[in-house]
Chain A
Amino acid sequence: MSDTSTSTPESTVPVGDAVLSLTGISKRFGAVQALSDVHMHVRAGEVVALVGDNGAGKSTLVKVISGVYQPDAGDITFAGRKVTVGGPSEAQALGIATVFQDLALCDNLDVVANLFLGREESTGPFINEVEMEKESWRLLRTLSAKIPSVRIPIASLSGGQRQTVAIARSLVGKPKVVMLDEPTAALGVAQTAEVLNLIERLRETGLGVILISHNMADVQAVADRIVVMRLGRNAAEFRVEDVTTEQLVAAITGASDNVVASRAARRDGGSHD
């Protein structure tokens, strides 16, 4: 798997200092230590995949970054400054945008209304539809997104197009870091490819991207680095060129003798017999 050339070579992408750094993050819920001494860095123009099994602490970490939870210990450094993220709106104001798994779009409103929901541009008491529509096309074009019209209700869009709108919406506040929670979970093959293209476009525009996914193929196709979490700790960190699927699975499950590997071995054995 390590010889796949789907990942973009580092040399073509200008990579700056870490735009978002987490160091020594710990979070405890009652008797459960959900995160202990977790660290992670995201640079501008870099896609960092966050992988791990259920209960590994991915969601907790995402919620710490997006301000839903406050960490018990540890520092968050954003754009060179130590920050505390007090809530989702504070995260947005800082420049950390989150695209949730269930997208949170209003089916009855059109694309423009959804993109600017809660942040409508207005002149006097009235919504400035013209300005918003212009900006919508600009956003969608930077993503090379295929949306036929921004004046049709969200209900008439396909799953991939909805994901596109949700990602475009995260860009409205001009963020520096975009977090995507399972963006390909419910999509078909072609739509998944489209969303992966979109993630590469985000990287090209110089954003730091955190991709949370269960899908090893997607992660290996688009990420620059992969951070593996297990039982609330950093289990491993790989550059995507250096890692095989087997190594990833081993890091996620915490054993080379895991159910995925033994299944693969069994199938290999079966085909040789």
Chain B
Amino acid sequence: MTDTANHSIAADLADERLIRAQGVGGYVRQFLGRLRAGDLGSLPVIIGLLVICVGFYSAEPRFLSSRSIVSITQFAAPIGIIALGIVLVLLLGEIDLSVGSVSGFTAAIMAVLVVNQGYSMVLAILAALAVGLLIGAFYAVLYTRVGVPSFVFSLAGLLGFQGALLYVLGTQGTINLPSDSFLVQFTRFEFVSPTMSYVLVVLVAAVYAGTQLLQVRRRSAAGLSSPPTVLIALKAAALLVGLGFLSYYVNIDRGWSYLWVLFAVLVVLMDVALRRTRWGRHVFAVGGNEEAARRSGIKVNRVYFSVFALTSLFAALGGLLQAGLQTSVSQASGTTDTNLTAIAAAVIGGTSLFGGRGSAYAAMLGIIVLQAIQTGLNLVGVDSSVRFMVTGGVLLLAVAIDSVSRRARSSSGRG
């Protein structure tokens, strides 16, 4: 590592012990090496999803029909949004067991305000979201000021807000939302037009390629190495073709639902916030080593506050959308398996239960797996008892894969 050698080699590749990746082949080899070292990323989930698709398709070809895929994505979105909040608390190594109850309670507030009190839908939605935010803020105060463990206060919330749901609904068992309200229209009947969907796909691929190329320019200007342009072009092309084909396929039926697009936008925004902003960096730091984060001047309590508040806010939003999708709020809203489905989705997607590892995409992948299983089993015509058992098995498998790959990671030095 002499000074003369540094002129030709990028600063981050100057150490002679580093195995250098050259060209596209080098990056492929690096990727395989990462897999061997136990850094599986989302590969197990994607393989699992493929297995599920092939399995159900061979049992019932309608499973992969355009119609079925449209409804899988549409019905996955509300709980997916709740799971996005769960990813956030899990990143801090905490848990929120009350997201289902909160989603039902806030949906009931919205329904009562609109149907019984005659307020406008917009006002009712804002009120419900504000209640969600307040609940999260209350949790944060309990955690940071009083020192109650998140498991305990969210368990209390699970029971308490389920009671609050029943109280708000009063003697009415079920409140039906007016079917011409925009919430119902938006969640059930709004779909992206085919032309619009292709425009969106091209836009997504272009933004991806653009940001990557900008990154390459800035890195090489700073004298750092960057992936070959060919690789970026290949990835952008894969994105374009993959999303383009999926769009073509769902466009045979109704196309992408607005609900699903909203979920996807939230996932991408959350991913950017987690990986590219100071706030996201601090969330990972607090989840990894709270004491280290505190000593380096991070306002740890503010991080907890923002995460608990966001989780409850996402729960409220998911509950509202779920209510719209079902056109009603009932005593069962958010109670049965919403909690555990949301938590299972985050974990199946690859978020560690111990904090500091995970990504926003975990919520999306996890909820697709669970929704696909549910739709598949419904199509095949098995009882819901089987569905719970299968979901439980998949959750166990996901955590087992994570544990095994964690062992591989620690033995090969990838944390």
Contact = CB atoms under 8 A, between A and B. Distances in A.
Interface of A: 88-89, 92, 100, 103-109, 113, 117-120, 122, 125-127, 130-131, 133-134, 137, 146-157
B414 A155 contact: yes
Given A108-B287, A109-B284, A127-B276, A89 B297 contact: yes
Contacts of A104: 289, 291-292, 295-296
B410 to A, nearest CB: 7
A127 B278 contact: yes
A129 to B, nearest CB: 8
Contacts of A92: 297
B222 A126 contact: no
Interface stretch (B11-19, B48-56, B66-74): B11-19
Given A106-B292, A119-B297, A147-B15, A153 B414 contact: yes
Contact of B415 (A117, A120, A155): A155
Contacts of B14: 137
Contact of A127 (B222, B281, B293, B356): B281
Interface residues of B, number: 36
Contacts, number: 103
B293 A149 contact: no
B271 to A, nearest CB: 13
Interface of B: 11-12, 14-15, 17-18, 215, 218-219, 222-224, 276-278, 281-282, 284-285, 287-289, 291-293, 295-298, 356-357, 410, 412-415
A103 to B, nearest CB: 8
A105 B289 contact: yes
Given A120-B281, A126-B277, A149 B15 contact: yes
Nearest to B285: A106
11 contacts: A105-B292, A106-B285, A107-B356, A108-B289, A109-B284, A126-B276, A130-B219, A131-B222, A133-B222, A134-B223, A134-B224
Contacts of A148: 15, 17-18
A148 B297 CA distance: 28
B222 A107 contact: no
A146 B18 CA distance: 11
A150 B410 contact: no
A106 B296 CA distance: 10
Contact of B218 (A106, A118, A130, A155): A130
A175 to B, nearest CB: 14
B415 A154 contact: yes
A138 to B, nearest CB: 8
Given A89-B297, A109-B284, A117-B296, A133 B278 contact: no
Contacts of B282: 118
Contacts of B278: 120, 122, 127
A107 B284 CA distance: 10
B24 to A, nearest CB: 19
Contact of B18 (A134, A149, A155, A156): A149
